[in-house]
Amino acid sequence: MRDNAVNSRMSSPTAAGDDPGDRFERLYAEAERGAAVVPWDRDTPHSLLAEWTDRARPDAAGRRALVVGCGFGRDAEHLARLGFATVAFDISPTAVRTARRRHAGSPVRYETADLLDPPDAWLDGFDLVLESMNVQALPAGIRARAIPAVGPLVAPGGTLLVIAAGRRDDEEEVEGPPWPLTRAELDAFAAGPLVPARTEEIIAPDGGLRWRAEFRRPA
């Protein structure tokens, strides 16, 4: 019942009109006080990330990874266990503080940052960038700016992995958040020097469409 209440609040028209950073900070702060539950709070990495790393066996030796919108760090910790020197960021200071506390002693560097204004040192800086289920939580105008902001974080020779809820072109847009991504929005991640490498359409256990896509930056 509590999860349903949170999901309802996150999907309300009022929430959709809020500043996304403020909205997520409020949710994480309420969760810290025990007044809410974060629906995506899990102990294990996203299943589509775990499947991908099992299959692709990415070479982590001496490589850097960046996790966009890390939340409490479940995906970041997974990449660190594989051997990546991992940086993970979220726009919510409370989420970052909680991640550091939960994973005390972790090699992951958790930072508070905004995807639309990342530190200059991060540009062209990471061999693997993970964007999992984040930009779909942004209203259309901000989403259109956020999608092409991810690619510049990928280093030459690096990979961007995108995991997102999806909708087909003939499906009506839902009243989010979240707003599942169209194929055109997914393809828009191939900005600048990035080129599409592989796109998968996956049907989730709930019957919904999920995208898992790889983009590569030539060396």
CATH number at residue 165: 3.40.50.150
* Residue 4 maps to a domain: no
Residue 15, in any domain of the structure: no
**Considering the domain boundaries, does residue 26 fall inside one?**
no
Q: Is residue 69 part of a domain?
A: yes
pLDDT bracket for residue 18 (50, 70, 90): low
- What integer pLDDT is reported at residue 16 of this predicted model? 42
Mean pLDDT of all residues in the chain? 90
- Residue 2 falls inside a structural domain: no
Torsion sign across C-alpha atoms 86, 150, 48, 41: positive
Q: What is the mean pLDDT of residues 175-186?
A: 91
Which structural domain range is residue 190 located in? Answer: 44-216
How many independent structural domains does the chain possess? 1
The band of 7, judged by pLDDT with boundaries at 50, 70 and 90, is very low
Tens of pLDDT, residues 66-91: 999 999 999 999 999 999 999 999 99
Residue 126: pLDDT band (50, 70, 90) is very high
The answer to whether residue 161 sits within a structural domain is yes
Alpha-helix runs per DSSP H in 58-210: 74-82, 93-102, 140-150, 183-187
Q: Do the domain assignments include residue 14?
A: no
- Write down the pLDDT at residue 37: 86
Of all residues in the chain, what percent carry a pLDDT higher than 90? Answer: 76
Rounded to a whole number of angstroms, the CA Rg of the chain reads: 16
Does a structural domain hold residue 27?
Answer: no
Name residue 202's amino acid: I
